[in-house]
Amino acid sequence: MKDPVFDLINQEKTRQKEGLELIPSENYVSETVLEAMGSILTNKYSEGYPSFQGIPGWKESKIATEILPNYRYYGGQANIDRIERLAIARACQLFHADHANVQPHSGAQANTAVYYAWLKPGDTVLGMSLPAGGHLTHGAKVTMSAKVYNFIGYGVTDDGDIDYDELESLALEYHPKIILIGYSAFMKIPDFDRIATIRDRVANESGHEVLLMADMAHVAGLIAGGVHENPLDHGFDVMTTTTHKTLRGPRGGLILSRGKVTSPLKRPEHTLDNIPTLIDRAVFPGTQGGPLEHIIAAKAVAFGEAARPDFQEYANSIVNNAKILANELIKLDFILQGNGTDNHLILIDVQESFGFDGKLYERALDMVGLTLNANSLPHDQAAFRPSGVRLGTPAITTRGLGATEMKQLALWMKKVADICIEAGSEEDLAKFSAELDAIHDEVRTLALKFPVPGV
């Protein structure tokens, strides 16, 4: 008998096929990415690294064919090394980096490794606060990052942009060792040059080197597709990202850096120039064990896909769809944080728009096959019943939805908002099941016209 897990996988396939995924951190990978992830590479242990010579300036053909000395702790690495070198080379090319570490198991692991590479316990980091849109790993109280390091948070202005004046004055007051730009709920394109100038001032005043780090987990695919500025082109030392959001690869993390690449076996001096090797040592053995080579192979495939011209079109369509959807929502009386979007992400102030909270709206939309998540807004006091919802266009754009469907989506969202006004609570949504079911049927009919890859 087949393991019942496979029944559940099939049910999840149906959910993905029949609904529309609006969570901005999710996407649908290609069948080739799925194939690499499900491969026998999962059988192999490969602690350590392939030869560092395989990184900048090396032709892809050589990387994929040559067997070079390596820094591994187990035998049998000839194929694994070449796969990992290919992933590294493609990542460097895609993001204009000198070095890539493709081993982090997740975005959180990538950030942890950078902190471990550069900081001592108690050192100060300046990052966007969680309520303003920053990520948990940027010093939220419940995380290890806050227990080990001293995080200071900057916020956003009323129009939803980074509060650069606050960032500058906090940087000059606290002289952080890392200035971190990154977020999970922010709709503008950061002014990386301005932040680099602030870093230079802090370094001059404090007399210590300041690491400039960008966590671009959400927008890495937009950077790869050329529709978003790349922090590494604007003086940043390190960029971390997940590989599974707009970048449309397997679930995982990636660290890109500028600097000198040397052997990971020898601890280099603690300077910004040596950050690539400091990071390699911080990933393994610093914070991880064996790399997931099946995932690294899938990352290599995804980086190859992201380098193609059709990915540029994809990235462009993600942003176009988000702008159209945002405008349609505004026309229907939705109040949006920042009054719109410049990337893939939209944050709706549901409380301010309609007088109910984000959890109720998330639940009601789930009932019609539209999946998004309740999200705090900068002015929220507690995260438990947030005032907003967060949505985005990466996944639906992969399926091929365009302007016409964005208008339809906004209309459905308004109908569901009107039902929530009448229902007033999650329990009372059941009274409106006929209306919700009718919308669900329409969503399903549209969704089935746009296939999910691999399903």
67-74, Cβ contacts within 8 angstroms, sequence gap of 24 or more: 71/263, 71/264, 71/265, 72/46, 72/47, 72/48, 73/47, 73/48, 74/45, 74/46, 74/47
Q: Which of residues 84-113 bind ligand PLP (CB under 6 A)?
A: 106-108, 111
Q: Is 215 a catalytic residue?
A: yes
The residue among 135 and 258 lying less far from ligand PLP, judged by its C-beta, is 135
The residue from 137, 257, 288, 353 that contacts ligand PLP (CB under 6 A) is 137
Of 253, 293, 270, 291, whose CA–CA distance to 109 is shortest?
A: 253
Q: How far apart are CA 270 and CA 413, in angstroms?
A: 52
Of 330, 26, 322, 347, whose CA–CA distance to 186 is shortest?
A: 347
Q: Is 331 a catalytic residue?
A: no
Q: Is 184 in the site for ligand PLP (CB under 6 A)?
A: yes
| Closest CB 65 distance from ligand PLP, rounded Å | 32
Q: How far apart are CA 380 and CA 396, in angstroms?
A: 29
| Closest CB 246 distance from ligand PLP, rounded Å | 11
Stretch that binds ligand PLP, among 50-58, 176-184, 339-347, 414-422 (CB under 6 A): 176-184
The residue among 29 and 429 lying less far from ligand PLP, judged by its C-beta, is 29
The residue from 85, 218, 281, 299 that contacts ligand PLP (CB under 6 A) is 218
Q: Is 242 a catalytic residue?
A: yes
Phi and psi torsions of 370, nearest 5°: -110, 115
Q: How far apart are CA 115 and CA 97, in angstroms?
A: 19
280-285, Cβ contacts within 8 angstroms, sequence gap of 24 or more: 280/49, 280/52, 280/99, 280/101, 281/117, 282/113, 282/114, 282/116, 282/117, 283/101, 283/103, 283/104, 283/109, 283/113, 283/255, 284/47, 284/48, 284/49, 284/103, 285/47
Question: Exactly one of 215, 237, 280, 349 is catalytic; which is it?
Answer: 215
Q: How far apart are CA 139 and CA 170, in angstroms?
A: 15
Q: Is 46 in the site for ligand PLP (CB under 6 A)?
A: no
Question: Exactly one of 199, 245, 390, 399 is catalytic; which is it?
Answer: 245
Q: Is 344 in the site for ligand PLP (CB under 6 A)?
A: no
| Closest CB 6 distance from ligand PLP, rounded Å | 25
Q: Are 246 and 321 in contact (CB under 8 A)?
A: no
Q: Is 251 a catalytic residue?
A: yes
The residue among 86 and 108 lying less far from ligand PLP, judged by its C-beta, is 108
| Closest CB 346 distance from ligand PLP, rounded Å | 15
Question: Exactly one of 17, 251, 414, 444 is catalytic; which is it?
Answer: 251
Q: Is 164 a catalytic residue?
A: no
Question: Exactly one of 241, 242, 341, 393 is catalytic; which is it?
Answer: 242
Of 301, 184, 325, 294, whose CA–CA distance to 248 is shortest?
A: 301
| Closest CB 243 distance from ligand PLP, rounded Å | 8
The residue among 186 and 361 lying less far from ligand PLP, judged by its C-beta, is 186
Question: Exactly one of 17, 35, 44, 45 is catalytic; which is it?
Answer: 45
Phi and psi torsions of 356, nearest 5°: -130, 170
The residue among 239 and 436 lying less far from ligand PLP, judged by its C-beta, is 239
Which residues of this chain interact with ligand PLP, rule CB under 6 A?
A: 25, 106-108, 111, 135, 137, 182-184, 215, 217-218, 242, 253
Cite the active site residues. Answer: 45, 47, 215, 242, 245, 251
